Structure 1
């Protein structure tokens, strides 16, 4: 995916999250393990959010592979340690398609 397309999807995801009561804490947090697209906070719970876009929901959600998820978790652990966080947290996804934005809670289940 091009950086421009990725930025557009992340902007849409941030707007969606903000409209639904999430505070955006950080975007594009990098560690040596990988990147987390959006870190958001709602009701004292940190949400580590992976943003995927595609022509339809299925083509986007299936791009979150077990390897990708493992990198997200390791990167989140780095963030938690670095920020000395003791919040509860979850790993979520926002799927952006031309016609919709879908929030998927707890993608680790």
Structure 2
């Protein structure tokens, strides 16, 4: 399985996980021009959740891929998304870590 296929499989697991907890999937793989990509945009209780999905062979490797640079790019991508869609909504940034069959949701990482 290629890296791209592994990423797509992880994102599908993440979407299934979110749906099982009452999230609505609004969009996947939103590309924000030169800023980057938002893996999953979901919504629950009138709050948008911009979700970064990371999968790896172990938890530490996955979590270490959430760098200040990555968060900065994600914030700029979110701003672009909100402007493009003309939205003024409550939102947060979440991370889903997938290691084998284990899935962890880390909510609101920018607090």
TM-score range (shorter-chain normalised) is over 0.9
Q: TM-score normalized by structure 1? A: 0.96
Look up the SS of the partner of 2:70 in the other structure. helix
Look up the SS of the partner of 2:88 in the other structure. coil
Equivalent residue pairs, number: 109
Partner of residue 108, structure 1: 110
Q: 1:65 aligns with which of 64, 67, 71?
A: 67
Look up the SS of the partner of 2:30 in the other structure. strand
Partner of residue 36, structure 1: 38
Which stretch of structure 1 is more off in the superposition, 52-61 or 17-26?
52-61
Give runs of ≥4 in structure 1 deviating > 2 Å. Answer: none
Equivalence map 1:74-93=2 (5 Å): 74-93=76-95
> Deviations 1:11-31 (Å, cap 9, x if unpaired)?
000000000000000000011
Look up the SS of the partner of 2:103 in the other structure. strand
Partner of residue 12, structure 1: 13
Distance 1:40 1:75 in 2: 15
Partner of residue 26, structure 1: 27
Distance 1:11 1:51 in 2: 10
In structure 2, list runs of 5 or more residues that go unmatched: none
Distance 2:57 2:10 in 1: 12
Partner of residue 3, structure 2: 2
Q: TM-score normalized by structure 2? A: 0.94
